[in-house]
Amino acid sequence: MAADSTSRPVVVVGATGQQGGAVLAALLDAGVPVRAAVRDVLAPKALEAARRGADVFVADLGSAESLHRLFDGASAAFAMTTFSGPAGIEGEVEHGRLLAEAASKADLPFLVYSSVGGVERGSGVPHFESKYRIEQFLRDVVPVAFVRPTFFMENLLSMVRRSEEAAILSMPLPKDIALQMVSVRTIGAVAAALLISPPTPDSAIEIANDELTGEQMASKIAERFNVATQYREIPLSSLADDADQSAMWQWFTQLPAYQADFTRTRELTAYHDDLSTWLTRQKLD
């Protein structure tokens, strides 16, 4: 067991973000000591993490020295990277390289990295390919397991436009194409389970809670919010100015795209967050 209530802390990178916050919550719920990496100890989510008992630690993901101090003495770590920063894809890859360098220098016993579903299958999606490069950095220097999420449910409601009497879900996806999706809470639960009971090094699990077409998603939204909801396919050309997103939505149509292990996902969580269940915790503006 890599982490238990009496062990050295587990590091959570991005502890105030969506994924890191979900991992943090799952570990604290399990009684695991956590070292939470944040940018600002006075940020509301950092203060809440400290209130819950986490050791809040300021870390700079752009500094190998800072990351080394973060990992030093830890029993394990959760890490994720993002391409949404000012340096884009190459900035994400550099952060991944620095994570690997710091984990190696600190002799980190085990790491869980949140990658993306399909990363190993040559999708051609830039922010998938960057995470695959980071996977290679990490597997060369540290015992590691990869959590590979599918489409985030948390992105769905931003695609809904609602009036007083109706709503429209708009996506650049043909109406007969089913999309696998996962809740951030599930990502956190799966990552925490792997940190507590590590699998064989270099393991990977692609995770999802549900698989639905756009029309099925619209039906679930209508049922939850009691509002007539229509699905509208928007042309892929609407993403012409965003090569990354255009490539991703195009890849979704090349079935099978995501190939999640639904059984293993359920085994590693204490609940099943299908879309209907996830929607019960949401509001529709």
pLDDT in tens, 167-177: 999 999 999 99
Question: Is the per-residue pLDDT at 1 higher than 50?
Answer: no
Q: Residues 126-153: pLDDT tens digits? A: 999 999 999 999 999 999 999 999 999 9
Q: Residues 43-67: pLDDT tens digits? A: 999 999 999 999 999 999 899 999 9
Count CB atoms within 10 A of the CB of residue 202.
Answer: 12
If you ran DSSP here, which 8-state letter would residue 197 be given? S
**pLDDT at site 3:** 58
As a 3-state breakdown, the chain gives helix, strand, coil percent values, each rounded to 5, of 40, 20, 40
Does some domain include residue 2? no
Domain span at residue 195 reads 10-279
Does some domain include residue 5? no
SS3 call for 117: coil
C-alpha to C-alpha distances, 107 to 95, 100, 101, 250, nearest whole angstrom: 18, 10, 10, 40
Does some domain include residue 284? no
C-alpha to C-alpha distances, 118 to 3, 19, 23, 178, nearest whole angstrom: 29, 18, 22, 15
Q: Tell me the whole-structure pTM to 2 decimals.
A: 0.95
Q: What is the CATH number of the domain that holds 116?
A: 3.40.50.720
Residue 16 pLDDT grade (very low, low, confident, very high; cuts 50, 70, 90): very high
* Total of domains in the chain: 1
- Give me the phi and psi of 212, to 5 degrees please: -140, 150
Cis, peptide link before residue 33, omega less than 30° from 0: no
Nearest in space to 206 (alpha carbons), one of 126, 277, 117, 275 = 117
Does some domain include residue 139? yes
SS3 call for 39: coil
Does some domain include residue 137? yes
